[in-house]
């Protein structure tokens, strides 16, 4: 990790810069793949699955037998853990259901809003070096609670054309409608455009590598909504003298092992704490199977010593981390002043991995500083709002003159006339 002592404010943008994530070099290839999927459907998907995943598949959809076999292959301990995590995630997202409220803004003028589920959603679950079955829960459970009619899941197969059984078990648990053995750009294209086998969806959710991210951004322009901009994982930790350096080191490494382009940040007022944390990282790193990945990520990472707690909070809000751990004496006070973060973890006994898996909160969060303007995934992500209004004869008499005056002021006389005719009407219906 790079260490910075009392950096001046004008150096913060450079110090807190994320690893470069330029998609321009791959965009032309991504567009070509997407265009082929759009034109050739299943044929293109089959070709790309053979080329990129090494799997020669005639049938993309996961069968009922495969689902049943997957459930038998899961170790009881893991099955129980997935079920407990699902229960907590369900409980947290259930309370997000909004009540429907009606207001009479003017006598005789009633307005209200209704939350309506998105009919068809697509969930992308990465394959790669780790089977992210936890992401199935994070995406599938709120989609299920929202009431989405069709929930499509795509995930890349291995060379034998198989999906990790834990992914299939989690998908069955959250009642995914259909599961397809399709990964990468071709999966995004199949869900965005539809093929002979894969139905078109209205919004795509889920993380992925730079190719998947680029594909999501491209289809979002004209063809399909997406959850949010995405980038490599990141974690920031605010800590004072009360923090446990071993815990901090473990949390930093837990995020660093996601990928070589991940970034972790430690911000503290205590210089000795930085030394203790770095020593703990060295000790813990030797026991990690993904040590090489974490080591690479730490090259992009920072330990920053600041003057006081006020500056610590200011720097965190400037960085806008995906995940933030507050390991200080007065966690509540600091948390109240955080305005830019995806998900916040308070106290020494709240690891970031709790949110990744089982506490109940969602782990699909804004990265790359998008926490300044984006929320993490929640129940509303799977819904849209429709507004309604109903005006009575009394209401149009009350509100009509206001409509007339404003329409005339904008020189939109047909708008004015729509109100005038109703004001003067003798129609009793």
Catalytic status, residue 352: no
Question: For residues 178 and 199, what is the distance between their CA atoms, to the nearest angstrom?
Answer: 10
**Which residue out of 164, 234, 257, 323 is catalytically annotated?**
323
Q: Identify the three-state secondary structure at position 180.
A: strand
User: Is 124 annotated as belonging to a binding site?
Assistant: yes
Q: What is the dihedral of CA 131, 133, 136, 138, to 10 degrees?
A: -110
Question: Among 58, 187, 201, which Cα is nearest to 126's?
Answer: 187
CB of 203 closer than 8 Å to CB of 227: yes
In angstroms, rounded to a whole number, what is the distance separating the alpha carbons of residues 38 and 32?
10
Angle in degrees, 0-180, between the axes of helices 184-193 and 210-222, rounded to the nearest 10: 20
CA dist 355 and 36 (Å) reads 38
Looking up tokens 């409509």 gives: 403
Selecting among 234, 257, 322, 352, the annotated active-site residue is 322
**255 among the known binding-site residues?**
yes
Q: Residue 158 gets which letter from DSSP?
A: -
- Residue 258 assigned as binding residue: yes
> Active-site residue 164, yes or no?
no
**Spatial separation of the C-alpha atoms in residues 371 and 214, rounded to whole Å:** 19
Q: Give the list of residues 6+ apart from residue 235 with CB closer than 8 angstroms, or none.
A: 251, 252, 254, 255, 263, 264, 265, 321, 322, 323, 324, 325, 352
Adjacency order of strands within the sheet including 203-205: 178-180, 150-154, 120-124, 203-205, 225-226
Residue 27, annotated ligand binder? no
4 labelled binding-site residue = no
Confirm whether residue 164 is marked as ligand binding.
no
Q: Count CB atoms within 10 A of the CB of residue 103.
A: 9
Helices 245-256 and 291-298, axial angle in degrees (round to 10): 100
Give the whole-angstrom CA distance, residue 49 versus residue 43.
10
Write the Ramachandran bin of 299: left for phi over 0, alpha for psi from -120 to 50, otherwise beta: alpha
CA dihedral 21, 23, 29, 32 (to 10 degrees): 140
Annotated catalytic residues are: 322-323
Q: Residues annotated in the binding site for Zn(2+), as ranges?
A: 255, 258, 356, 415
Q: Residues annotated in the binding site, as ranges?
A: 124, 186, 209, 233, 255, 258, 323, 356, 410, 415
Q: Residues annotated in the binding site for substrate, as ranges?
A: 233, 255, 258, 323, 356, 410, 415
């Amino acid at each position: 990790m790079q260490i910075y002592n009392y950096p001046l404010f004008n150096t913060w943008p450079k110090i807190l810069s994320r690893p470069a994530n330029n998609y321009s070099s791959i965009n032309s290839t991504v567009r070509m793949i997407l265009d082929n999927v759009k034109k050739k459907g299943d044929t293109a998907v089959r070709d790309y699955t053979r080329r990129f995943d090494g799997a020669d598949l005639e049938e993309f959809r996961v069968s009922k037998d495969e689902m049943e076999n997957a459930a038998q292959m899961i170790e009881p301990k893991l099955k129980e853990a997935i079920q407990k995590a699902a229960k907590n995630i369900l409980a947290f997202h259930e309370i997000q259901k909004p009540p429907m409220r009606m207001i009479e803004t003017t006598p005789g003028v009633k307005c209200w809003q209704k939350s309506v589920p998105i009919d068809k959603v697509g969930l992308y679950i990465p394959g790669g070096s780790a089977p992210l079955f936890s992401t199935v829960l994070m995406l599938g459970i709120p989609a299920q609670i929202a009431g989405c009619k069709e929930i499509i899941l795509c995930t890349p197969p291995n060379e034998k054309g198989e999906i990790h059984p834990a992914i299939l078990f989690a998908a069955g648990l959250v009642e995914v409608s259909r599961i397809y053995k399709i990964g990468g750009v071709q999966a995004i294209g199949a869900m965005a455009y539809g093929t002979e086998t894969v139905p078109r969806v209205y919004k795509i959710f889920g993380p992925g590598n730079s190719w998947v991210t680029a594909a999501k951004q491209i289809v979002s322009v004209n063809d399909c909504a997406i959850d949010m901009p995405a980038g490599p994982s990141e974690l920031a930790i605010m800590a004072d003298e009360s923090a446990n350096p071993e815990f901090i080191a473990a949390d930093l490494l837990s995020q660093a092992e996601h990928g070589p382009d991940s970034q972790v940040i430690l911000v503290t007022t205590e210089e000795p704490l930085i030394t203790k944390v770095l020593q703990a990282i060295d000790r813990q790193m030797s026991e990690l199977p993904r040590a090489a990945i974490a080591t690479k990520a730490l090259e992009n990472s920072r330990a920053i010593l600041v003057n006081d707690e006020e500056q610590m909070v200011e720097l965190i809000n400037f960085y806008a981390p995906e995940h933030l751990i507050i390991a200080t004496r007065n966690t509540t006070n600091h948390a109240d002043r955080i305005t830019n973060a995806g998900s916040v973890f308070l106290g020494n006994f709240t690891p970031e991995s709790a949110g990744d898996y089982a506490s109940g909160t969602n782990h699909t969060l804004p990265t790359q500083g998008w926490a300044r303007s984006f929320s993490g995934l929640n129940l509303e992500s799977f819904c849209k709002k429709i507004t309604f209004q109903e005006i009575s004869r009394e209401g149009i008499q009350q509100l009509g003159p206001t409509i007339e005056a404003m329409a005339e002021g904008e020189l939109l006389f047909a708008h004015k006339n729509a109100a005038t005719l109703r004001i003067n009407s003798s129609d009793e219906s």
